[in-house]
Structure 1
Amino acid sequence: MYLNCHTYYSLRYGTLKPEELLALAAENNNGVLALTDINNTSACLDFVRLAPNYGIKPVLGVDFRNGVDQQFVILAKNNDGFRRINAYLSSFLHRPGAIIPESPIEMEDCFVIYPFEKGKDRILNKNEYLGVAPKKLRHLKFSKSTFETDKLVLLHTVSFRDKRGFNTHRLLRAIDNNTLLSKLPEHEQGSETDRFLTAEARERIAVDFPELTENTKRLLDSCHIKFDFSKTTPNNQRSYTQNEELDFRLLQKLAYQGIPYRYKKVDETIYSRVSKELNIIKEKGFVSYFLINWKILKYARSKGYFYVGRGSGANSIIAYLLRITDVDPIELDLYFERFINLYRQNPPDFDIDFSWSDRDDITRFMFERFKNTALITVYNTFKFRASVRELGKVFGLPKSEIDILSKGKYDINQLDRLSQLVIKYSRYIQGFPNYLGIHAGGVLISEKPIHHYCATFMPPKGFATTQIDMVVAEDIGLYKFDILSQRGLGKIKDAVEIITKNHRNIKSIDIHDIKRFKEDQRIKHLLKNAKAIGCFYVESPAMRMLLKKLQVDNYLGLVAASSVIRPGVAKSGMMREYILRYRYPERRKEAHPVLLHIMPETFGVMVYQEDVIKVAHHFGGLTLGEADMLRRGMSGKFRSRDEFLKVKQRFFDNCKADGKPDAVTRDIWRQIESFAGYAFAKGHSASYAVESYQSLFLKAYYPIEYMVATLNNGGGFYNRELYIHEAKMHGALIEAPCINHSEYLTRVQGKKIYLGFSLLKDLETRTVEKILADRAQHGTYKNLDDFIDRVSISTEQMAILIKINAFRFTGSNKRELLWSAYLQTSKIPKEEHVNTLFRSEKISYKTPELKSSELENAFDEYELLGFPLCNPFDLLASPKKNALRVSELLSYKGKIVTIEGYLVATKNTATSNGKPMYFGTFLDRSGDFIDTVHFPPVAAKFPFRGKGIYSITGKVTEEFECVNIEVTTMYRQAIIEDPRYSDNHNTTLSHV
């Protein structure tokens, strides 16, 4: 009979998992248990769902505290009471820093329990009680005559299991207080006795107070909480129009209205698919889910927002007709049962991507348009390395020792006691929730108020956010709407605007003309030759090499490549087989005939989630209901492995009964299992391919403008230096930020790109705003003096602009400009410029004759931009005579070569036995990519040492015309001495 139990969702306080708390209750013969986490209801629904497995009646509530100072505990009599508790708790969580009062507002259907010390002098309402901790019973024994015994209950707190749990609790409290464990105040921690008592101990403690035991039992017996976890009916907003029949008629109307927009020729296949989908959508209760998505995207189109609809919902013709997606399931022969079937309990996934600059407005619209809306939380957990650092500080270890422990470079048996404790408890708290964050894009729109299920908090984003994550939400039948952001759409949107500004003859670009893009020869060339830097999803080294190997030049091939690159196909060992069958048709004959019949488009290789379902159904004899378990298993959630195990034996039994060879069955199941959490639905890949085609079109015809849009949207897979390099490769002239021509973002004028002020390290936004506002009002600057007269700026900010050569239009030497600026400005920003009737006479400052070199520009650029604008090979201290280029490597196949490369990107991975290895991407002197492989012995002996030019020696290998170098040795080459700190200032780039 416990009224105050905590799990580890009492963040940085409790130490018990919900399952562990229930197991302890069962072990100690507790038939009823109240979960009351501190200012948190994250565990409540899971607690109710799991409780029957342990024979426990669950009671829900909240332990309201200011920090660790307990004010009161509130228990819910029923679900209405739980809703009121959640709403009351949320009223504080929505106001950062809000103080919980000494007594709550009056709430029906709830019991309020005050700690004895705080409530003994108050007049209690009917639903209010005094909770007496076991250690206070002795005090009560000598004064109980002064209290109404029917208002007294036992309030024994449970926060941990045992001594180790208490130690963990103290460490969590020290982390929370950012203090040494030795300095953790007692009032900031619980009592070592806050754990479960045996039945005998409970009876012994309360032997003199049987009425307290009876009161506690009666209070718990009065509480009844019930939630339906069967998920037979979604708990999302049930009706869009407040009338479910009207909803269906609207959906039907919108679907048929969309046919002429999507199809020029309509046949029975289309009408049959529409009718079939509508009937199942209605039967499964997903009508409002479709209509809500339609409404959101109708608003987005009205605002001119770009978006991409993807996920399994892209297999739906209804989604295509409602313009939720741009993927035609008839054209692509998308498997209907992957999208939806009568066994599916949850709605299909609609992942809607918006530009990062548009998503917040879409979220705002959803909150304003739909009544019961909230963002979904994620439980940010303690990670091992981060925990090592936190606990290292708690134990007072020096930073050098913490660094060693966090990097794992130690022998546990050689560590001292404190270091061993750091490792021990870091492992123990790994996976504990640390704080609540916000899901990347999940939004709930429920039929009942969100507080029916949990409390909400208000993060800085300004939208109410649940205290339950998406897994718990789905358990209760709440399915999220995914409103995501990606910079790829921002690049496309901005590129279109930049093109129309930079090309006066272009009025508009129809970026949605995908059918034309699919036949465009320039795009085909870019795809086949993997010339896709900056393009959505197809620019990474791995995708670039896959495209080269496949030599894809068509839409369906790109759709397949988008899924082949996923770990599921690679892990199954079928990526190479797919490439072989794609490139060499005669190889397809080696496919299993049944698999080839099921998947002719992918040559008998499982590539998509749909393929797994088809194989499970047609090859393994699983029902569509059992196949749907595999679909859930491929969702990427942590429970996926269990879903596979549920149908594994049935698959093997069916294949054996059908006479299929055991070896074949085992191999095919291995391929199926490798897809867990890693496969794409075909519609999802097709949606990605649409966006890839849009970006490929822009890259093919307007590469300079597209690179500018890429820079202004934070780049992509690579850092911004590579996109500047790519622009140069397409004929762009790169200009450093300029006082008279640059804007906050990078801009293009003809073929000249002026880098934006936003790229400059340490240049303040307010400085840029002043410059741009003054320039807009009074025109360009004539010289440095004119700028200083007009703009209030500190010496440090002025130095940044001069060092980046932003005043090069003056023709003056940078060093002289720095001297002049220093003499005319102070280190403290001047007051804002005020116009006066008379201009004071300018003092002429005499500056010494100073010189600067072109090389100084490169080092200043490196300091302020992070990279030089010149060719980095010009900065080598000892320029090599090595003339080898990537274009020549194929002629050296199988031979050892040495080539120079400028490091662009690295990828770390591990061999099958867990040893680290790497892949490298470099640029040669001509600007072409060098791809390298670094096996474990070489990776250990010749590690990457940061940005720079490396001398790479290794064996040239080739597969499917894709060339790599298997590295044997690698050294980073030295660059010249920084001329800014040397005596010789006359060196120029031409001298190097």
Structure 2
Amino acid sequence: MILNSHSYYSLRYGTIKPIELLFLANKGGYRTFVLTDINNTTACLEFMRLAPKHNIRPLIGVDFRNGAKQEFVMIAKSNIGFQNINTYLSSFLHHNNYEIPNKADELEDVFTIYPFEKYYGNTLKQNEYWGVKTSDLNTIKLLRFQGDTSKLVILNTVSFIDKKGFNTHRLLRAIDNNTLLSKLSVSETGSEDHKFISKEQLLKVYQDYPCLIENTQRLLDSCNVVFDFSGQIPNNQSSYTNNQVLDYKLLKKLTYEGLKYRYEVVNNKILDRIDKELKIIKEKSFVSYFLINWKILKYARSKGYFYVGRGSGANSIVAYLLRITDVDPIELDLYFERFINLYRTNPPDFDLDFSHRDRDDITKFIFKTFKNTALIAVYNTFKYKASVRELGKVFGLPKSEIDILSSGRYNYQTLDKLSQLVIKYSKYIEGFPNYLGIHAGGIIISEKSIHYYTATFMPPKGFPTTQFDMVVAEDIGLYKFDILSQRGLGKIKEAVEIVKYNHPDKKAIDIHDIKRFKQDARIKYLLKNAKAIGCFYVESPAMRMLLKKLQVDNYLGLVAASSVIRPGVSKSGMMREYILRYRYPNRRKEAHPFLLNIMPDTYGVMVYQEDVIKVAHFFGGLNLGEADMLRRGMSGKFRSREEFLKVKEQFFINCKTSGKDEALTKEIWRQIESFAGYAFAKGHSASYAVESYQSLFLKAYYPLEYMVATLNNGGGFYSRELYIHEARMNGAIIQAPCVNKSFGQAVIYDKDIYIGFLFLQSFESKNSKSIIEERLKNGEFKSLDDFIDRVPISMEQVAILIKINAFRFTRINKRELLWEAYTKINNITFEEHRITLFKAERINYKTPELPSTKLEDAFDELELLGYPLCNPFKLLLKPLKMILRANKLPQFVNYVIEVVGYLVTTKRTTTLNGKSMYFGTFLDYYGDFIDTVHFPPIASKFPFRGKGIYKIKGKVLEEFDCINIEVVEMHRLAIIEDPRYSDIETNQKAS
């Protein structure tokens, strides 16, 4: 009887979760219930999946509105009707941003219901009705309605549960309209009677109008929309060649052709693995999925794009032979059942990483090549602090009060009533969907039209995007292709290009020669000594320390380290245990024999996702179907689902039945649970390790070129300043931007690295382009006058160049240059220079002597780059006297010492009791790392105070050859006063 209900996916309008709506429907006595969210179909499939569990026959449609004004409601009579609604909604509203019309188009298998308040007669089509709300009943009675009563149906709207829901609805509408609650127009909200009522109450309201009840029931009975949520039927594009037999022949052909490229010697182990994989890929109907990935990457190679294929698909030899991945599952003995098994309903994951410069073209290629294609949405939800700010504005609170409320530093009991309401409702709407965004890289390629499942919207990227997320997509059998962007690949590609340009006499680098890299002595040295700054996945402080602790110098060790560092292993305490067993073979005897037998390579410690599956299967007695459910649960997407909880229950039942020790069972499950959302498949880690080796090779042999590429591709874990420091540590001479040498990005000449114009804060990219084009066309600039004549640029922008010393080739003091520039440039908007027959001579005024100093340069660099190009220790107010070097710390283990360090980065974490502690990374005067630990009492008493140089007092600790300082006291040291604003005489003395 309910034809118009809204979940909280009626964004900034509805207040009820889809599952709550179903619970209410069941409790209220309904057996059929219609979900019609406003202008979207986001919740439709989830509503349909959950409905049978609540004994509800679900129907779906859309409430079409202009703002809050209802124009009509469309309800799908069948799946075709739902597709037509999605197509209509998408093309009309979400792709072209048209206003919803007063009169709907006639769509096949779709019922259209107009609100009775718009009644203008009986000129309705066969599929159209007038929807009578409770507020319309008196009108019908008074008018003694003489129209066609067969065209009248009940249109009782449900948008909230109770008074609190209505209040929440009004707040959401105020947020949506960006207005104060007190100024919110009544026309922008629903009616207070749009609360949920039971079927008994509804029938009682309409009891005097049995024809409305009958018409509504007849409409409901004629609707039937059905989707298969069993997961047994993949709905991705079913065939690559439009013939599944030809698909399989092509896959087989490509697989065997790949043997020559990948293997020098082909043995039976390889051939048996191929045969096993091909059979199961065919049986599970994943052939086209492999071929589509192959097609995408074939295109990428034709364009010279670097890529990495990772994910669980990296466990596949077929993927390896098709060049989807670069991981050899035979060499690594990758667990076949992690990649694919007969119980697995979804295809293996292939995460395809590209440089950010190449990814958009790959996406365009996919949309151009494959028919039914869409990006996947994500739900951006209301976060608590943001909700406090939004509601604070709605209630009209001053900014100062909003700041206090959002900081959490208040006593709730002492707050005034409005502030308490802000806190109360912020907690209530926390987690509500706010707007739809785009998944980082998920693309679906469907056999049927995308609109068969969902409406689409058109974000700025210009590609149709679903209105549901990846979890709903998987529920309906649509499995995404992940096309991701990654800085590391851009660094590698650019570094190879720079080396090729700078060293034309040398043999071209084969960056894919991983076999050679695995044996390279220089790479082994960098790994073992954790000298991998700038290198993919192995440069962070945590990874740097782990590499030292493990003393990794080989590929398999790095593969393990890539997974051990993940939170699942480290938080469970198994990272420390793995290190102990890695370093001390006798320790391995302490492993449980059963676990050691399952995981000999990791000494009985669960490190990879497949280890968890093995333990669940062999130790916990779960079949591969249940173990696959566990695998999905580990992704973090399904943990709250009852399927995952059933697997947990079955694990404990099986262990008890087989006589396993209860304490051991609980401990094993604790370790399994710690992996949820954080585990890596071994093949995934191996893919990361391949890219790490590529970057390590470049760092080992071409460190300066590699650092330039790192700077030009957005850096990595650290800020740009550290990569400039690292280049200097490797022998580079760092040069400030120069109008005659620099380009937009950093560039290298022998050992001189010139910082790019685009690194300058507030410097416009159009000016960078103008300078480079003019210099390449007409030669280097001879003077400031020459520059001003040839480049159209404002005084403000020239001032930036002068302050950063970009005219130092003139050998004129930059203060004098600034004076000169001010006399010669009008501070106006510049147009392109016009070519004139005669060059007018500029008037040269005599400039006064205005000396500048190195210290002034450093402060200009701080302002324009964010960091000085000199040693930052030279800016201290009080010069350092005795300095303890970082490389001497091993001599002072267990002693309390004092060191001075320049802050690089911090990491905050929480203790078991919820208190904040920190890990710090500093550089000493000579550029070596100092690592610190700040436990909660110290972190609170001596907090980090931003960027700068700190005097640190603490105890030197050593664990597995890794040095840390447990801080007991820390103070940031003062730097000199900015010399640019002190008197000239003082500056002259400083110079």
The TM-score range, normalised by the shorter chain, is over 0.9
Counterpart in the other structure of 1:164: 164
Residue 123 of structure 1 and its aligned partner are, at CA, apart by 2.2
Which residue in 1 is equivalent to 2:620? 620
Once residues 629 and 582 of structure 1 are traced to their aligned partners in structure 2, the CA distance between those partners, rounded to angstroms, is 31
Aligned partner letter, 1:852: S
Higher mean C-alpha displacement, 345-354 vs 398-407:
398-407
For 2:4 and 2:667, how far apart are their aligned partners in 1? Answer: 52
Correspondences of 1:854-893 after superposition (within 5 Å)? 854-893=854-893
1:59-116 CA distances to partner (integer Å, 9 max, x unpaired)? 1111111222222111111000000000011113443542122222221111111122
- Aligned pairs (5 A) from 1:312-461: 312-461=312-461
1:902 positional shift: 0.4
Query: Partner of 1:788: helix, strand, or coil?
Result: helix
Higher mean Cα deviation, 86-95 or 466-475? 86-95
CA contact (8 A) 2:917 2:939 kept: yes
Worse overlay, 649-658 or 961-970: 649-658
Q: Does 1:268 align with 2:271?
A: no
Higher mean Cα deviation, 786-795 or 664-673? 664-673
Amino acid of the residue matched to residue 529 of structure 1?
N
Which residue matches 2:572?
572
Give, in whole Å, the separation in 2 of the partners of 1:4 and 1:308. 48
In structure 1, distance between residues paired with 2:252 and 2:892 = 63
Which residue pairs with 2:697 in the alignment? Answer: 697
Indicate if the aligned counterparts of 2:62 and 2:75 stay in contact, CA closer than 8 A. yes
Cα separation, 1, equivalents of 2:555 and 2:392: 53
Specify the alignment match of 1:965 in structure 2. Answer: 965
Show the 5 A alignment for 1:114-133.
114-121=114-121, 123-133=123-133
Amino acid at match of 1:796: E
State the secondary structure of the residue aligned to 1:292: helix
Q: Is residue 2:919 matched to residue 1:911?
A: no
SS at match of 2:984: coil
Partner amino acid for 2:13?
Answer: Y
Q: 1:204-223: CA deviations, max 9, x gaps?
A: 43233222222222222211
Task: After TM superposition, list the pairs within 5 Å mapping 1:582-593 onto structure 2.
Answer: 582-593=582-593
Match in the other structure for 2:844: 844
**Structure 2 equivalent of residue 478 of structure 1:** 478
1:933 Cα offset (Å): 0.4
Q: Return the alpha-carbon distance in structure 2 between the equivalents of residues 562 and 830 of structure 1.
A: 53
**Aligned twin of 1:778:** 778
Q: Distance in 1 between matches of 2:202 and 2:726?
A: 74
Name the structure 2 match of 1:664: 664
8 Å CA contact retained: 1:644, 1:673: no
Counterpart in the other structure of 2:81: 81
AA partner of residue 387 (structure 2) = S
Structure 1 residues 790-799 or 523-532, which shifts more?
790-799
C-alpha distance in structure 2 between counterparts of 1:353 and 1:920, whole Å: 31
Deviations 1:554-588 (A, max 9, x none): 00000000000011111221111111111111221
Displacement after TM superposition at 1:301 (Å): 0.6
Specify the code of the residue in structure 2 equivalent to 1:223.
Answer: C
* 1:898 alignment partner AA: E
Which stretch has the larger CA shift, 875-884 or 644-653? 644-653
1:685 aligns to what SS in structure 2? helix
> 1 CA distance for matches of 2:617 and 2:198?
52
- The 3-state SS of whatever aligns with 1:484 is strand
- Aligned partner of 2:546 in structure 1 is 546
- Residue 48 of structure 1 is matched in structure 2 by 48
Corresponding residue for residue 35 of structure 2: 35
Does the CA-based 8 Å contact 1:87-1:455 persist in structure 2?
A: yes
Relative to structure 1, the CA distance from residue 724 to residue 268 in structure 2 (aligned partners, 3 Å threshold; closer, same or farther) is same
Question: Per the alignment, in what secondary structure is the counterpart of residue 195 of structure 1?
Answer: coil
5+ long unaligned stretches in structure 2: none
Distance 2:287 2:202 in 1: 54
C-alpha contact 1:443 1:483 (8 A) present in aligned 2: yes
- Give the distance between the partners of 2:797 and 2:645, measured in 1 at CA: 63
**1:541-560: CA deviations, max 9, x gaps?**
00000000000000000000
CA drift at 1:145? 3.4
Letter matched to residue 595 of structure 2 = L
CA contact (8 A) 2:737 2:804 kept: yes
State the secondary structure of the residue aligned to 1:669.
helix
In structure 2, the CA distance between the partners of 1:980 and 1:583, relative to structure 1 (3 Å rule), is same
Letter in 1 for 2:24: L
1:991 CA displacement = 5.0
Name the CA shift for 1:736/1:121 in 2 (closer, same or farther; >3 Å).
farther
Which residue of structure 1 lines up, in the alignment, with residue 202 of structure 2?
202
In 1, Cα distance between equivalents of 2:753 and 2:653: 65
Report how many residues are paired. Answer: 991
Deviation of 1:652 after TM superposition, in Å, equals 3.4
Q: Please list, as runs of the form range in 1=range in 2, the aligned pairs for 1:280-291 lying within 5 A after superposition.
A: 280-291=280-291
Partner of 1:603: 603
User: In the alignment, residue 708 of structure 1 is paired with which amino acid?
Assistant: V
Secondary structure of 1:36's match?
strand
Q: How many angstroms apart in 2 are the aligned matches of 1:620 and 1:232?
A: 25
Q: Report if the CA contact (8 A) 1:93-1:458 is conserved.
A: no
Letter in 2 for 1:91: S
Q: What is residue 789 of structure 1 aligned with on the other side?
A: 789
Say which SS state the counterpart of residue 145 (structure 2) adopts. helix
Contact kept in structure 2, 1:743 and 1:757, CA below 8 Å: yes
Query: For 2:379, what is the secondary structure of its paired residue?
Result: strand
- How far is 1:203 from its partner? 3.0
Following superposition, the deviation at residue 507 of structure 1 comes to 4.8
What residue identity is the alignment partner of 2:113?
I
Stretch of structure 1 that moved more, 589-598 or 349-358: 589-598
Deviates further, 499-508 or 2-11? 499-508
- The alignment partner of 1:549 has SS state of helix
Residue 465 of structure 1: CA displacement? Answer: 0.3
Q: Deviations over 1:744-798 (max 9, x none)?
A: 1111111101111111111111121222222222211111111111111111111
Instruction: Please state how far the C-alpha of 1:140 moved relative to its aligned partner.
Output: 2.0
| Residues 833-892 of structure 1: CA deviation (Å, up to 9, x unaligned) | 111112223212233322211111111111111111111000001112131011111111
2:643 and 2:29 map into 1 onto residues whose CA distance is 33
Whole-angstrom CA distance in 2 between matches of 1:17 and 1:813: 68
**Which is worse superposed, 949-958 or 762-771?**
762-771
Q: In 1, distance between residues paired with 2:304 and 2:642?
A: 44
Q: Percent identity?
A: 71
Is the alpha carbon distance of 1:640 and 1:343 closer, same or farther for their aligned partners in structure 2, counting shifts above 3 Å? farther
Alpha-carbon spacing, 1:48–1:99, altered in 2? closer, same or farther (3 Å)? same
- Amino acid aligned to 2:82: F
SS in 2 for 1:357: helix
Q: Which residue is 1:249 aligned to? A: 249
Structure 1 runs of 4+ aligned residues shifted over 4 Å read 640-644
Quote the Cα distance in structure 2 between the aligned partners of 1:649 and 1:221.
40
Instruction: Give, in whole Å, the separation in 2 of the partners of 1:122 and 1:406.
Output: 55
Q: 626-635 vs 303-312, which deviates more?
A: 626-635
Residue 62 (structure 2) aligns with: 62
- Give me the CA root mean square deviation: 1.5
* 1:63 partner SS: strand
* Distance change (3 Å), C-alpha of 1:112 and 1:645: closer
Query: Structure 1, unaligned stretches of length 5 or more?
Result: none
- How far does residue 303 in structure 1 lie from its aligned partner after superposition? 0.6
- AA partner of residue 492 (structure 1): I
SS in 1 for 2:587: helix
CA deviation string 1:584-613 (max 9, x = no partner)? 112212222222222111111111111112
CA distance in 1, matches of 2:536, 2:12: 41
Q: TM-score, normalised by structure 1?
A: 0.98
In 2, the alpha carbon distance for the partners of 1:356 and 1:105 equals 42
**CA, structure 1 residues 739+31, in 2 after alignment: closer, same or farther (shift >3 Å)?**
same
- TM-score by length of structure 2 reads 0.98
**Is the aligned partner of 1:277 residue 2:273?**
no
Q: What displacement does 1:954 show?
A: 0.7
Tell me if the contact between 2:548 and 2:962 (Cα under 8 Å) persists in the aligned partners: yes
Which amino acid in 1 is paired with 2:793? I
The aligned runs of 1:875-954 (5 Å cut-off) are 875-954=875-954
Indicate if the aligned counterparts of 1:564 and 1:575 stay in contact, CA closer than 8 A.
Answer: yes
SS at match of 2:966: strand
Q: Match of 2:85, as an amino acid?
A: I
Matched-pair contact (CA < 8 Å) for 1:852–1:986? no
CA deviation vs aligned residue, 1:358-401 (integer Å, no higher than 9, x gap): 11111111111111000000001111111111111111122222
